[in-house]
Amino acid sequence: MRPSARTWPFAPALIGLSLLAIACADSANGTDSADGADDATTASDPAQELPSAITGNGGELEGTNLQYVDGDDLTTGYLAVPDGDGPFPALIIIHEWNGLQDRVRQLADDFADEGYVTLAADLFQGRTGSNPQENMALVREAQADQPAMIANLNAAVAYLRGRSDVTGRVGAMGWCFGGGVALSFGLDGENHEATAIFYGRLVDDREVVARMDHEIYGTFAALDNGPSPESVAAFEAALRAAGVENDLHIYDDVDHGFWLRVDQDPEVRAAPAADAWQRLKAYLQRTLG
């Protein structure tokens, strides 16, 4: 199923933590590594069109660690910069429930290769989880102080806009926990030009989503429970009622986490992930390019 444009509003803790735990645990059981994995695809496979990080073939990290929040020595993001003088559009990418791991850093490098100054944000002050219990403890702590999360990302926007090699146009995107945070930031954070959500927490309040002042991108899975296709439909209806432009799709035969970890089931995940990637590139071009 590929629904037409849809809309939805966001609010803190929209989906219960138990649903978040189930969905994220189903998709992120493996350990991310900075080393490239064996290539599970062939030259004709759709996965060849994808960023190397999400197929398990990310290489050595090429960016640098960055403390971007004034007065906070613990929060450490990861900055990847394109070759050349620019100026370039900028992206903030927001990690999953287990914190800023190397797969997300590798993806920042991939986005830099696409021409975006990319800052992988750190919402857990340098900490990461290694099991569902640790991950949920970090999520609960972060969600207990929603203003601090928004301030963290506002600082990321300020840093990026202060760079001489950035055009001034900034987008935010995330996955699972990070997808919900990206939506929250699109509604409540400093003005920026793009919000992309991959299977993140959603809302269905028209008045809330009406605060979104730019087009929104969303990729979801038909076999997901957090958010479910029904939640996506409610989100779409709210966006439509509020007049918010959007590009939302639900992909059949895949579940939560399919895009960031294509290598877990490349035969099933590669084709929908490639379609979502082409949509994402087109979206970023028209909103940031």
**Which residues, at least 6 apart from 235, have a Cβ–Cβ distance to it below 8 Å?**
6, 7, 8, 9, 202, 203, 204, 209, 218, 227, 248
In the block, tokens 């991950």 appear at 135
- The per-residue pLDDT for range 183-194, each reduced to its tens digit, is 999 999 988 999
- Strand 77-80 relative to strand 64-66: parallel, antiparallel, unpaired? antiparallel
CA pair distance 28, 264, nearest whole angstrom = 9
Question: Phi first, then psi: what are they for 228, rounded to 5°?
Answer: -80, 160
Return the CATH fold of 17-29+44-288. Rossmann fold (3.40.50)
Give the number of other CB atoms < 10 A from CB of residue 115.
17
pLDDT along the chain (289 residues), means of 10: 34 43 54 42 63 96 97 97 96 98 98 98 97 96 95 97 97 97 94 95 95 97 96 97 97 96 96 97 97
